[in-house]
Amino acid sequence: MHVGLTVVTDIQDKIPLREWDGKVSEIKKKIQSVIPGGAWNPLYDTSHLPPEHSDVVIVGGGVLGLSVAYWLKRLEKQRGAIKVLVVERDHTYSQASTVLSVGGIRQQFSLPENIQLSLFSVEFLRNINEYLAVVDDPPLDLQFNPSGYLFLASEKGAATMENNVKVQRQEGAKVCLMSPEQLRNKFPWINTEGVALASYGLENEGWFDPWSLLQGLRRKVQSMGVLFCQGEVTRFVSSSDRMETPSGEEVILKKIHEVHVKVDHSQEYQPVECAIVVNTAGAWSGQIAELAGIGKGPPGTLQGTKLPVEPRKRYVYLWHCPQGPGLEAPLLADPSGAYFRRDGLGNNYLGGCSPTAEEEPDPGNLEVDHDFFQDKVWPLLAQRVPAFETLKVKSAWAGYYDYNTFDQNGVVGPHPLVVNMYFATGFSGHGLQQAPAVGRAVAEMVLEGHFQTIDLSPFLFSRFYLGEKAQEHCII
């Protein structure tokens, strides 16, 4: 540097100023012709395109995709060892389940795996800045509101509830059982008619802001070197190998080599070579599986077994009720399926009720059915909380559950035949809260070949073929 400067000064001393300008522009031209990209032209700017290669391509940048990206980078053995690309078709997340959810986390599940997932996730959320802090950026505030879930059971459901609580306690969750009388004492605004038993979470339950978690994850993974691309995954290019099982059955193993991404405002696709694909496309993950050929085989075979995840529309209504329950109001889940929780501090509430199979609305759009509240949800709420007879609906929205039609539980881990496609999807209403732990489980599977911290074998894809349901009794 020092030597170069001396030479230039030296030349300048010997050349008149006008000639010097000419020389400089000549040198500039020479430099531009040698440096690639020196002559910048917006038509050839490719910074918005995905890279040509990425070790891992994550399809869908919702909370699950970002959590997998985070844990892959966090658990990689050597910093920068793995190149991770997240492909998200809509960076406004206008239809993503994550931002349209109600942000709840609970420990009250019946499957030990679900309890374990939520126990780790709550630890993650409570210590969010130990996980997601970024140097020089303000700390993340998830607006975590600690509050127990209150499940009510009828006579018919009481024994199941007792069993569930036994499992929850064995797994380390703090949950108590309450008789109708205890319920009336603690929450006098509840009508206990038809209630035989209740279970109430004493810690590690509540709700938080899903958008903040999503943005916090995004900020963090970008700081860790994860690449993002706005585009839609439209195709996979794979190779096939014929294999024979020990019983003599022929199976075809597939491996994806290339992911085609259709970038915004273009009819062209961009191929990305990769080693691993993670399917975190939420409600649309069934379609992504189909693109990879999953389920396109003879019925009754593993090859013909689809990923049973599809969009199911769910409404959330917001109402105001000055006579409604106060700050002590838990998230109440009624035996009828209706639920509500407080929203903020001004006697505002939000809630809804999953429709029956016959009431299942058309998932073609996200319009809200206001009659569903009037005819179905409100009568159930007012029956349980008489004060709600005077409520006034303020607004409402609809979102998609990433609904697993087989057993309403997550699908985690690799596909047995498309060997480099991994899933983290199908959580049907509890995927937000489980995302921190599920991302870790998928990263363990990808990096180590097995689950290390929580054994999620009951959530593997193979259960759909084997007909083994991961039966969860506490679904809202």
Ligand X SMILES: Cc1cc2nc3c(=O)[nH]c(=O)nc-3n(C[C@H](O)[C@H](O)[C@H](O)COP(=O)(O)OP(=O)(O)OC[C@H]3O[C@@H](n4cnc5c(N)ncnc54)[C@H](O)[C@@H]3O)c2cc1C
Nearer Cβ to ligand X (87/175): 87
Look-up of token digits 């001396």? 6
What token pair was written down for 153? 């059971």
CB of 368 to ligand X, least distance (A): 11
Site of interaction with ligand X (CB under 6 A): 59-65, 87-90, 93, 96-98, 100-104, 232-233, 280-284, 288, 314, 316, 399-402, 425, 427, 429-433
CB of 121 to ligand X, least distance (A): 9
Helix, strand, or coil here: 386? helix
Amino acid identity of 56? V
Between CA 79 and CA 60 the distance in angstroms is 24
What does the chain come to in residues?
Answer: 476
CB of 328 to ligand X, least distance (A): 20
Judging by beta carbons within 10 Å of its beta carbon (0-12, 13-18, 19+), is residue 405 exposed, middle or buried? middle
CB of 214 to ligand X, least distance (A): 8
Nearer Cβ to ligand X (63/302): 63
Nearer Cβ to ligand X (302/310): 310
DSSP count for the chain of H helices, then E strands: 14, 18
Nearer Cβ to ligand X (205/444): 205
Are the C-beta atoms of 106 and 149 separated by less than 8 Å? yes
Nearer Cβ to ligand X (207/302): 207
Q: Write the DSSP assignment of 49-89 as a string of letters.
A: SPPSEEEEEEE--SHHHHHHHHHHHHH-SSTT-S-EEEEES
CB of 99 to ligand X, least distance (A): 7
CB burial readout 425-445, b (16+ within 10 A) else e? bbbbbbbbbbbbbbbbbbbbb
CB of 247 to ligand X, least distance (A): 36
CB of 400 to ligand X, least distance (A): 5
CB of 391 to ligand X, least distance (A): 19
Q: Which residues partner with 474 through β-bridges?
A: none
Nearer Cβ to ligand X (60/335): 60
CB of 377 to ligand X, least distance (A): 13
Nearer Cβ to ligand X (252/396): 396
Amino acid identity of 108? Q
Nearer Cβ to ligand X (132/233): 233
Residues 6+ apart with CB under 8 A from 76: 82, 447
Nearer Cβ to ligand X (302/434): 434
Between CA 323 and CA 326 the distance in angstroms is 9
Nearer Cβ to ligand X (302/333): 333
Judging by beta carbons within 10 Å of its beta carbon (0-12, 13-18, 19+), is residue 45 exposed, middle or buried? exposed
Q: Write the DSSP assignment of 326-383 as a string of letters.
A: -TT--EEE-TTSEEEEE-SSSSEEEEEEPPPTTTPPPTTS----HHHIIIIIHHHHHH
Nearer Cβ to ligand X (410/458): 410
CB of 40 to ligand X, least distance (A): 29
Between CA 427 and CA 414 the distance in angstroms is 16
CA torsion 142-145-148-153 (nearest 10°) is: -80
What token pair was written down for 62? 């919702």
Look-up of token digits 């509500």? 340
CB of 101 to ligand X, least distance (A): 3
Nearest-Å Rg of the Cα atoms of the chain is 27
